[in-house]
Structure 1
Amino acid sequence: MDKSWIGLTSRASTEYVNGVNQFLDFAFARSAIDGLIWCPCVNCVNTYQMTRQDAFDLLICDGFLKGYVRWIFHGEVLEEYSSTIRCDEEERDLELGHDVNDLLNDIRGQRDMNVDSENTEFRDGVREQYQGHRIDSSKFYSLLKD
């Protein structure tokens, strides 16, 4: 569908008015709920729902939102675009799968056995150092008392 009319400066031109009507035909056929669509005028910015006549009036008076060329709020689906996103998401999920499993294991309290043995060795080393310092501290304090 030709969307070049969106950038026209003269909203009173036949081309712009025809473009607005084609847009409204498209939008109401694909996305209207209870006779309303999201209004893509520069003031509403797809945040307010309007009847066809109200949307037409606003699009003529205020103008069509510049840059809104993928009418995602009005039923436009780009198969090529959506399949590319799907493939990228699947690849990312495969790459992140290992990290997600690690995260879930952390949440459940399950750890990799190698990590646990490393942690145990570390804790034992710290304990030995602490015991050694405690003995040295005891000797020091006994010297102070004397």
Structure 2
Amino acid sequence: MPETTLRAADTDRAIVAEVLGTALREGRLTVEEYDERLAATYAARTHADLAVLTTDLPTAAQEPTTEDAGRAAYGSCGGDGDLRGAWRAWIIVAMIVSAVYLASSLGTGDWHYPWPVWVVGPWGAVLLARTVTTRGSLTRR
């Protein structure tokens, strides 16, 4: 069976969406073309349906690596900039849950167990470990 008749997975659609996004940022597609192609990407059922959407784009953009597929589908936390974004998200969530805890405690006058620790604590520990190990590997390069 030719590869083009195989059913497309969500990961395949995410790869094509990333290629289209890159083409839009590079000025290869107009916003209207991007919108049309993106809608067609998420409606695509087979690899052939997806291949048509990127045939007029440069070859390098048509062949994302496995690493690009993982990033497109699940996000990444590999580089220094990605870690900064992860820390920013952690700080925002920490501020929100702390504000909710503070408001509920002030409103009731009853200071219960500080539950925000369980929301931001493990996440912060993982981010800290990732930051330490990533920075260590960057300095060894």
Structure with the larger RCO, 1 or 2 (CA within 8 Å, 6+ apart): 2
Higher helix proportion: 2
User: What TM-score results when the alignment is normalised by the length of structure 1?
Assistant: 0.33
User: What TM-score results when the alignment is normalised by the length of structure 2?
Assistant: 0.34
